[in-house]
Amino acid sequence: MKEWLQKLDREYGFQLTEAEMDRILNEVKAAEPLFQQLNAIDVRSKTPFVRLDIKGAKK
Amino acid sequence: MTESDLENLTIAESSARIKSGELSPVKLTDLFLQRIARLNPSLNAYTTVRADSAKAEAKIAEQQIRSGNYRSPLHGIPISIKDNLATIRVPTTGGSKILVDWKPDFDATVVAKLKEAGVIILGKTNMHEWALGGTTINPFFGTTRNPWDLARVPGGSSGGSATAVAAAMCLASIGTDSAGSVRNPAAMCGIVGLKPTYGRISCFGGVPGTGAYSTNHFGVLTRTVKDCALVLQEIAGYDPKDPLSAAEPTDVYSAKIGQEIGHLKAGLIGSYYDKLMFGKVEQIFAAALKQLELLGMKTEQLSIPHMDATPAVHTVVSRAEIVSDHDHYLRTRARDYSPELLYRHIHALMFPAGSYVTAQRVRRLIAEEFERAFERVDVIITPVSIPAPKIEECGRGVTDVDGEKVSLRDARGSTWGLSTVPFNVTGHPAISVCCGFTSAEQPVGLQIVGRPFEESTVLQVAASYEQAAGWYRRKPRLGGIGR
């Protein structure tokens, strides 16, 4: 992860300090459960929901 | 009429008097500008006040009405606009340092529609930086204060709009809601905040990067539900300039207001929301449900099996979409973001692309679960969970709700967003209406959610509750400020 962050830092020219990189990496680590939660859900029959394609409000 | 009379004024009352000639838009606008001059130095609700332009617009409105050209119930009504909606030749900053000098050469569709309806635009309201947070503690434009307690935040990101409405510094405001940014500040300021169905109001002219494509909505903040319906009427509808706007026909949004709700059934999602009620909020919510039952509504517990995944879906989808809008500025002006926001954007650049698609697939699963739930009920009722924290508590990340310590955020985002983001994920219309006060005299919101494009039913239930409960009559005490 740190190498990836360093690559982004170079590409975008952020000039992040070590402390800033540590903070971002901590956020990355803290967010891991979100991705794990999504990846654990069976979505094999589901297409992405990219707009509200309402069929008509049901009464 | 005097400036203090504005505190009890509504659009519904004013428009009838304006139409008959009893109330002058010029006089009304002058009174609002006086009140803004008195209160804004303390509340910081407005970033731009258009005093001269508003006066000129009011004169034109008055002449038009006198000559028989009455345009709509909003003709001559003074309102405000959140500062991430494009307004021609008026600063539109998005609450950011980067756009501080931007004066668009066009109006957002919603602004153009409001002008066509004859409103008077008093100014632009303060907001959370890039609308990406819920406090309206803005490092560049200052902190907006909650009119119920100036030591507290108004919520956000439409915090300036909510404060302006609650403090009677306008009769309505237009905000945006990508995670609860209309409903949460409305709840924290004790007013009405509506996020209509996804696509119901055109988002053309919203500042890019202030809301995710999949989850952003424009919304309405007012003091009463009826007023909310009147504003929605003028701004709803398909817009060819916004490819995500809905072609579904509009409704007469105030038509059901005042009608009985005894035949309607409300769904509850206790498995999700019970964990989000702190301090007296549980008691206040229970009392609100009791009030709805007294009005004849039946309630039923609903099962939304993947409800707990809605915050994760929202976080992954919205952050990935938003960072795309910021790519240019991240490459050229990265240090003109607040550090917290910069780090959040950099983190979003590291999201795996596949996770975005997975999140959108889970989103469909959740939307289908809600579709099945809405076959059993007419509306869903939830709390808008957290009352306004103190400004200093936002820095510490912990608030006190009636003696209970509550963490303000975790990896999923802000704690208060947890009650609102599910309906940004699904796109259902949702309104917040005041349902009581904590022991610290802070307002609490009741969220009423409807089927897609059934805003009329949402407004009907909200209006019935509002009138029966009567909380809308309570006003913040601001008489001593600025005198």
- Going from N- to C-terminal start, the domains of chain A cover 2-38
- Separation CA B387–CA B440 (nearest Å): 9
Distance from CA of A21 to the nearest CA of B (A): 9
Tokens of B359: 């999140």
- Model confidence pLDDT, tens digit, residues B34-79: 999 999 999 999 999 999 999 999 999 999 999 999 999 999 999 9
Residues of A in contact with B199 (CB under 8 A): 51-52
Domain covering B3-473 in this structure, CATH number:
3.90.1300.10
- Separation CA B371–CA B51 (nearest Å): 47
Would you say the ipTM is above 0.90?
yes
Q: Which of B15, B24, B80, B82 is catalytic?
A: B82
Average pLDDT over residues A42-50: 91
Does B364 sit within 8 Å of A49, measured CB to CB? yes
- Separation CA B274–CA B256 (nearest Å): 30
Residues 6 or more apart in contact with residue B14 via CB below 8 angstroms? B23, B28, B76, B77, B171
Average pLDDT over residues B457-481: 97
Does A38 sit within 8 Å of B309, measured CB to CB? yes
A40 touches chain B (CB under 8 A): no
Active site residue B157: yes
In terms of residues, how long is chain A? 59
Do the bridges between strand B120-125 and strand B78-82 make them parallel or antiparallel, or are there none, so unpaired?
A: parallel
Closest residue to B309, CB basis, from A30, A37, A54? A37
- CA B50 vs. chain centroid, Å, equals 22
Do the bridges between strand B379-384 and strand B265-268 make them parallel or antiparallel, or are there none, so unpaired?
A: parallel
Residues of B in contact with A3 (CB under 8 A): none
B357 touches chain A (CB under 8 A): yes
Closest residue to B316, CB basis, from A27, A34, A50? A34
Closest residue to A37, CB basis, from B246, B312, B357? B312
Per-residue pLDDT band for A56 (boundaries 50, 70, 90) equals very low
Residues of B in contact with A34 (CB under 8 A): 311-312, 315-316, 411-412
Count interface pairs A-B at CB distance under 8 A: 112
Tokens of B31: 């009174």
Q: Which of B24, B72, B173, B181 is catalytic?
A: B181
The H-or-E segment that residue A34 falls in is helix A18-39
Lowest mean pLDDT among B131-145, B170-184, B410-424: B410-424
AA identity, residue B255: A
Average model confidence (pLDDT) across chain B: 97
Q: What is the pLDDT of residue B413?
A: 81
Judge contact between B437 and B443, C-beta under 8 A: yes
- pTM here is 0.97
Active site residue B226: no
B298 touches chain A (CB under 8 A): no
Closest residue to B362, CB basis, from A8, A38, A52? A38
pLDDT of A53 strictly over 60: no
Which residue of chain A comes nearest to B355, CA vs CA? A35
Beta strands in B320-442 (DSSP E): 379-384, 398-401, 404-407, 409-410, 413-414, 430-437
- Separation CA B51–CA B457 (nearest Å): 37
Average pLDDT over residues A14-43: 97
Q: Which of B14, B157, B245, B464 is catalytic?
A: B157
Closest residue to B364, CB basis, from A20, A28, A47? A47
Residues of B in contact with A12 (CB under 8 A): 330-331, 334, 346, 349
Residues of A in contact with B334 (CB under 8 A): 12-14
pLDDT of B108 strictly over 50: yes
AA identity, residue B4: S
Nearest to residue B171, comparing CAs of B210, B129, B226, B238? B226
Active site residue B181: yes
pLDDT of A52 strictly over 70: no
The residue whose two tokens read 């947890």 is B418
A27 touches chain B (CB under 8 A): yes
Nearest to residue B381, comparing CAs of B439, B465, B454, B307? B465
Does A38 sit within 8 Å of B312, measured CB to CB? yes
Q: What is the pLDDT of residue B385?
A: 78
